[in-house]
Amino acid sequence: MEKKHRPNKFGSFTSRTSETASSPRSPYSPLKVNQRSESDTLPTLEEDELHDHDIGQVSEDIDRFTDALSAVDDKSDPPEVPDIVETFSRILDSRIAKYNSGESTTKFGKMTEEDLLFIEAARRISKLTNAFGEFPSSSTTMSSHNRTSMVLQRAMTFMEDEFRALLEDSRSSDSSSKNLKPYSSFNNKQEGSDRCAIPETESTGDHDEFPAYPPEVLTKMNRIAAAMVSAGYETECCQVYTIARRNAFQEQLKKLEYEKLNIEDVQRMQWEPLEGEVARWIRLVKYCSAVLFPGERSLAESVFSDSSLLSKSIFSNIARAVAIQLLDFAEAVAMTKRSAEKLFKFLDMHETLRDLIPAISESRCSEEWEKEMASEISATLDRIGAAAMNIFCDLENSIKNDVARTPVPGGAIHPLTRYVMNYLKYACEYKDTLEQIFQQNSKSEGEKNIQSDQATSSPFSAQLLVVMDLLDENLEAKSKLYKDISLRNIFLMNNGRYILQKVKGSPEIHKGMGDNWCRRRSTVVRQYHKNYQRETCGRLLQCLSLEGGLLVNGKVCKQMVKERFKNFGVTFDEIHKAQSTWVVSDEQLVSELRVSITGLVIPAYRSFLGRFKQHLDNGRQSEKYIKYQPEDIETLIEGLFEGNPLSMGRRR
């Protein structure tokens, strides 16, 4: 019979045109599902005949038959299966064969209308297969059920492969990490800071590019995932997705130069290389919080948009594997041998993990997973926090064990003072974190009786006071190494002033110590100054005293005048020679000392000179006993506390 109308061929897989009244009807009439068109045997369709079928009409007929099949109440009496089922199965088979053979003009994954129609066809045969499955295995529909099941299996296998290919091959080169500055040296610290510098991305604009799938590929993956899940292939679909995305995450870790280390590896590492690993870890956790986890969550929501529970579950599994890997490293580091230099890195890790908890809570995952991860992170935080607190408290032992047998030359600031105060300065940059750690790990009341300025001292502030008290005791003991009492007071004044300046220069330490402590410390330093004045200037003023036989029966004893002038010159020479080598690091303190000496000695000497110089013979005798004029003494006083340039330099 001559055909007046030829439907659009299946080769394009895109036609959904409806036939007009003048068009010949389909070989299968959708209105009579129990009737076959020609005979009771399924016709053998050649390839050309497949092309003659309008895919749009065939799809509509399949939908009608599937609905009719589902509507049958008596499952023991199934309807006859029309030829269109075999036709539709062969059409789908043919399309899969073309895809697999590479003969298709368009490659699957390019987001063409033909590909979308194929996915819709797969969903149709899935529904049809499920409808057949409701009938007994002994029914007449069994052979058709087997046929559609085989086609469905092939379609799902093909879609699984394509889903995997889209996940693995359709990602553009990940620019989300290309602008990350490679880690160079963890020990490159900025001047005046001991906190590790964490390399950041050059631009936050790249964050939205992870994962870097084109929009059309996301749409394709969404359609495939929906088709596989609805067809009962949820497990296979999720497995393919999870494996691909876990591999993608590992690629990101490699780009960030992060290498997975087990506990044994970490325990064997020296601290210097381990510092570098900690820096990479911190960088990675921050990047996961800001970029990788949000990007991965958005991807799962896009691909599995039909099921929020499924997208949450998949993202949770992927993120959990990475999070556990990161937590394992942190715990391994926390188990390493304690040492003072590790404190700041431990605190960096603590802060990084603490900031990870909000990122987890904002991930829109299942409540159970969020609670589990928050619990895991909190447990790791506790271990790192406890290790950091123990390291900080070890400062007590460091101070107690620093026993010196020789004094620091010139009464300069002791290295222990510099070390402790700089340590506290850098530690207090983490004051809020340390407050939190000490609060959580504080010892029972009464174990330490600490007097604090504040009515309610925090455990960390109390520990600061303990350290300061121990440092004071240690310096007091070290001052006893100086036989010269003036030098002893210079030593205590130097160190006391340095401590006070460090506390006042750091708002964090100042807040921890309190204003009352600073006022008391200032009073103590002033007392050291007074003690020095009394000891040094007292020796000179004693030479200028009117007592001790200077006046006999109201008359001046010339011999005693000569001795007094001579003793003053000798004493001043001794003081100048000794104290010119002493070290006072603080310029203001140097000025205060010189001004105070000048203010006490010069007026007294000028008065003594004016009153008793006349009792010496003019000329050579006067020059013999009066070595210095007041102006000479003022000039020499300005040379005190300069230190010995050959053995020590002034350190700030």
* Whole-Å CA distances, 47 to 13, 25, 95, 283: 14, 20, 11, 59
Mean pLDDT along residues 35-51: 42
Question: Percentage of the chain with pLDDT > 70?
Answer: 79
- The tally of CA atoms less than 13 A away on the side-chain side of residue 347 is 25
Helix (H, G, I), strand (E, B) or coil at 516: helix
Q: 438 exposed, middle or buried (CB, 10 Å; 0-12, 13-18, 19+)?
A: buried
pLDDT value, residue 436 = 92
- State how far the Cα of 480 lies from the Cα of 263, in Å rounded to an integer: 48
161: Cβ contacts below 8 Å, ≥ 6 apart:
none
In tens, the pLDDT along 375-410 reads 899 999 999 999 999 999 999 999 999 998 899 999
Nearest to 144 by CA among 155, 156, 131: 131
- State how far the Cα of 410 lies from the Cα of 482, in Å rounded to an integer: 10
- State how far the Cα of 265 lies from the Cα of 281, in Å rounded to an integer: 15
pLDDT value, residue 96 = 83
What is the number of other CB atoms lying within 10 angstroms of the CB of residue 607? 12
Residue 27's pLDDT band (cuts 50, 70, 90): very low
Residue 100's pLDDT band (cuts 50, 70, 90): confident
The answer to whether 249 touches 320, Cβ cutoff 8 Å, is no
- State how far the Cα of 416 lies from the Cα of 475, in Å rounded to an integer: 9
Q: Which of 52-56, 71-75, 99-103 has the highest mean pLDDT?
A: 71-75
For 70-103, b/e burial (b = at least 16 CB within 10 A) is eeeeeeeebbebbbbbbbbbbbbbbbbebbeeee
8-state DSSP, 342 = G
- State how far the Cα of 607 lies from the Cα of 604, in Å rounded to an integer: 5
- State how far the Cα of 633 lies from the Cα of 91, in Å rounded to an integer: 114
Q: 451 exposed, middle or buried (CB, 10 Å; 0-12, 13-18, 19+)?
A: exposed
pLDDT for 551 beyond 70: yes
pLDDT value, residue 384 = 95
pLDDT value, residue 316 = 87
282: Cβ contacts below 8 Å, ≥ 6 apart:
196, 198, 348, 349, 352
190: Cβ contacts below 8 Å, ≥ 6 apart:
197
Strand-pair partners of 583: 642
pLDDT for 577 beyond 70: yes
pLDDT value, residue 190 = 38
Let me know the angle formed at the C-alpha of 266 by 260 and 270, rounded to the nearest 5 degrees.
125
Q: Which of 75-89, 358-372, 514-528 has the highest mean pLDDT?
A: 514-528
Mean pLDDT along residues 78-106: 77
On average, the pLDDT of the chain sits at 79
* Whole-Å CA distances, 473 to 423, 466, 496, 516, 554: 18, 11, 12, 19, 51
pLDDT for 444 beyond 70: no
pLDDT value, residue 262 = 85
Strand-pair partners of 201: 180
In tens, the pLDDT along 493-540 reads 999 999 999 999 999 899 889 899 999 999 999 999 999 999 999 999
122: Cβ contacts below 8 Å, ≥ 6 apart:
92, 152, 155, 156, 159, 227, 231
pLDDT value, residue 188 = 36
Strand-pair partners of 111: none
pLDDT value, residue 69 = 80
pLDDT for 174 beyond 60: no
- State how far the Cα of 234 lies from the Cα of 250, in Å rounded to an integer: 24
φ, ψ for residue 552, nearest 5 deg: -120, 115
Nearest to 529 by CA among 569, 472, 588, 470: 588
Residue 102's pLDDT band (cuts 50, 70, 90): low
The answer to whether 108 touches 99, Cβ cutoff 8 Å, is yes
In tens, the pLDDT along 213-225 reads 888 888 889 989 9
pLDDT for 487 beyond 90: yes
pLDDT for 183 beyond 80: no
The secondary element (H helix, E strand) that includes residue 552 is strand 551-552
Task: Please count the helices (runs of H) and the strands (runs of E) in the chain.
Answer: 23, 2
pTM over 0.75: no
In tens, the pLDDT along 135-173 reads 877 677 787 778 888 888 888 988 898 899 889 876 544
Angle of helix 558-579 versus helix 515-543 axis, rounded to 10: 140
Q: 373 exposed, middle or buried (CB, 10 Å; 0-12, 13-18, 19+)?
A: buried
Q: How far is CA 202 from the centre of its chain?
A: 17
Strands (E), 130-191: none
The answer to whether 572 touches 633, Cβ cutoff 8 Å, is yes
pLDDT value, residue 440 = 87
pLDDT for 7 beyond 80: no
Question: Percentage of the chain with pLDDT > 90?
Answer: 41
How many residues are listed for the chain in this entry? 652
- Of the ranges 240-244, 289-293, 378-382, which one carries the lowest mean pLDDT score? 289-293
Nearest to 27 by CA among 80, 68, 82, 78: 82
What is the number of other CB atoms lying within 10 angstroms of the CB of residue 264? 9
